[in-house]
Amino acid sequence: MSVSVTTSRKKLKAIKSGNLHADGAEQVLLEFVGVATVSGYVDLSEMQAGDTVIIRQYIMLTMGKEYQKYAQESYVGAQEQPMIYITPKKSDNALKVTLQQATGLFKNFDNNFIGED
């Protein structure tokens, strides 16, 4: 008996990278519209005692409707493991990731997001 295995190579693509300077408001790290699996990283290494950062994730299930929040995490003080991984999310409409530095002197946050078809 022979077994046939077909593999498909998914193509990774850069979606967005940058450096966000926090200003106290909820700021968009990524807003992606389209069909893909999206993941990314946010660097919290500049955080110090007295800092609080909130990362929120939203999904739009039907184009033209409002985003709905499905995840929120708070980080307080200097981070022992400062690289935050935004786990892969499948989007067939739109998704958004935001960052808000709620307390402390405002910092810069490097971020990088990739997708695969």
Dump pLDDT digits (tens) for 65-111. Answer: 999 999 999 999 999 999 999 999 998 899 999 999 999 999 999 99
Q: Is 52 inside a domain boundary? A: yes
Instruction: State the greatest distance between any 2 C-alpha atoms of the chain, in Å, as a whole number.
Output: 66
Q: Is 110 inside a domain boundary? A: no
CATH number where 93 lies: 2.60.290
Q: Is 100 inside a domain boundary? A: yes
**Of the candidates 36, 39, 10, the residue with the CA atom closest to the CA atom of residue 92:** 36
CA gap 97, 117 in Å, rounded: 19
**Of the candidates 41, 30, 42, the residue with the CA atom closest to the CA atom of residue 91:** 30
Q: Is 11 inside a domain boundary? A: no
Split into its structural domains, the chain has a count of 1
Predicted confidence at residue 59, as pLDDT, reads 95
Check whether 5 has a pLDDT greater than 50. Answer: no
**Whole-structure pTM over 0.85, yes or no?**
yes
4 burial (CB, 10 Å; 0-12 / 13-18 / 19+) is exposed
CA gap 106, 20 in Å, rounded: 10
Domain that holds residue 48: 22-105
Per-residue model confidence as pLDDT tens digits over 11-66: 888 999 999 999 999 999 999 999 999 999 999 999 999 999 999 999 999 999 99
Q: Is 15 inside a domain boundary? A: no
Q: Is 13 inside a domain boundary? A: no
Q: Is 85 inside a domain boundary? A: yes
Give me the residues paired with residue 40 across strands.
86, 113
Query: Can you read off the two tokens belonging to residue 114?
Result: 């990739």
